Chains A and B, each alone.
Chain A
């Protein structure tokens, strides 16, 4: 893919990927290609869901956009600036709990501010506000291990919000939660997203989650991950998961994914056999 011809990119988009590829351990015997030729634009305030079989490189793409890893080909911009490293503008929320167990909830939420050396009064105020936005004001002084899994992920969201990011990158954040909690968390996330005005890139392998959340669904192929199709979702919010339109969308996404999941399986079996 062409890459340098985009050097003078001038889109206002929140995230722009052009010809992005990632080969892990490139140049060694263990090299393997996780992503190839990703072209993706995310508008400011847009909610994009990345859907694909596991191992297809969805997490890898988020890491690249977050600036935590370097792509091996192609280019990435965020609001016109090339992504060259991590930035508080782009917050990543992980699947597993990533709260520091040795800090209280409010200290976790204001960790980014303490890095900048902000005074305690300011840190407390910001933490209080961010926690209020996720409905956890009363948990300020608790420790992470006193919270349920869903509450912990809400604190993680509050911690990301405290940085006032323009892009929220979420890597299967609710995958470890039970179905009821996950549904509540989705509603809650939509509220937070609407208030914050940030763009969201949300990774999942749950089709229901994509149906509930997305402005657009990006479907990945099996490894190496490429974009198979991008499906815009025009259903109004709040969405009824049992409406015929939701059913139709669910069926479409299932069809799109099925062949890729089959391929991923076949590949894994071949790997195991060989």
Chain B
């Protein structure tokens, strides 16, 4: 508690603080952003700690951060990666608690990323095909439109029927959760491509295939990457649901176990992990976006100036 308050006191004006150190503006800006993020989280945690200190937050139900983050090795013990309880395997063998945490995070993160990649590729391809071939549209689009409002949760049994347990059903869930929306979004992006772009290509003698490959696809990519980023958090949500139904190990499985064994500390510890991972993966995708879409100007600065 005391340490949280102390760090809060040191942080309030990161921007001016950093300005005096003579750092480059870019570095200063990202450090400042990081400072504000830390301050925001610190504020939230501080209120929680305060509620605990005055006895309003029951530590058995709402253990404050210093409790659930206080003993990480203790928490990590619960991140069992499967094989240790199998017959013939010595429980003392297998990965150390920290390795198990890393493996659990890796497994869940990989499912999210692979699912995202498959969903993006598949839905862009299908969306483009739908606009390219009239017959394909007539055959496929109505079904996609009908299925898109179905909650991904409804697909969970299907995932288990088809794929059993393991990585496949979790990845399938991520793909399903994103696919329909992204197909429809691809189509509407295609319809919104500037007429002038298409007409320029037409006057230069481009064929339909060339117009799609060289004008329409690059023109819709920026918006689609934004859609992908918006869906990233959705992917994190469904992957937990999928994992909580016994697909082996994963963060969702840990949460489910924590619920079943009534371990609020473990729940909050895992939530903190997931939050951090979601944040990191969004940052990663933003880096990808900047590299792939070098031509898209940043608009955030304009908004910040308001």
Contacts and interface: CB of A to CB of B under 8 A. Distances in A.
B199 A94 contact: yes
Given A98-B197, A115-B210, A86 B297 contact: no
A87 B295 contact: no
Contacts of B92: none
A114 B203 CA distance: 13
B197 A87 contact: no
A163 interface: yes
Contacts of A159: 200
Nearest to A111: B204
B196 A96 contact: yes
A164 to B, nearest CB: 12
Given A98-B194, A102-B218, A68 B202 contact: yes
A145 to B, nearest CB: 6
19 contacts: A66-B203, A87-B205, A88-B203, A88-B204, A88-B205, A92-B199, A92-B200, A94-B196, A94-B199, A94-B200, A98-B196, A98-B199, A100-B200, A111-B214, A114-B214, A115-B204, A115-B205, A116-B205, A159-B200
Interface in A170-197: none
Given A86-B199, A101-B295, A111-B214, 7 more contacts: A66-B199, A68-B203, A94-B196, A98-B197, A98-B199, A114-B214, A143-B295
Contacts of B205: 86-88, 112, 115-116
A116 B297 CA distance: 30
Interface in B175-208: 194, 196-197, 199-206
Nearest to B200: A98
Given A68-B199, A94-B196, A111-B200, A102 B295 contact: yes
A145 B294 CA distance: 11
A221 interface: no
A80 to B, nearest CB: 20
A90 B295 contact: no
Nearest to A104: B295
Interface of B: 194, 196-197, 199-206, 210, 214-215, 218-219, 295-297
A101 B205 CA distance: 20
B196 A163 contact: no
Contacts of B202: 68, 86
B218 A90 contact: no
A204 interface: no
Contacts of A102: 218-219, 295
Contacts of A90: 203
Interface in A79-105: 86-88, 90-92, 94, 96, 98, 100-102
A206 B295 CA distance: 34
Contacts of A66: 199, 203
A115 B214 CA distance: 9
Contacts of B203: 66-68, 86-88, 90-92
A96 B194 CA distance: 10
Interface string A115-126: 110000000000
B204 A145 contact: no
A115 B218 contact: no
A96 B205 CA distance: 21
A115 B295 contact: no
Contacts of B297: 145
Given A68-B199, A94-B196, A94-B199, A100 B215 contact: yes
Given A98-B194, A102-B218, A115 B296 contact: no
Contacts of A111: 200-201, 204, 214
Nearest to A117: B210
Contacts of A88: 203-205
A181 to B, nearest CB: 20
B294 to A, nearest CB: 8
Nearest to B204: A112
A86 B203 CA distance: 5
A100 B197 contact: yes
A101 B199 contact: no
Contacts of A96: 194, 196
A116 B194 CA distance: 23
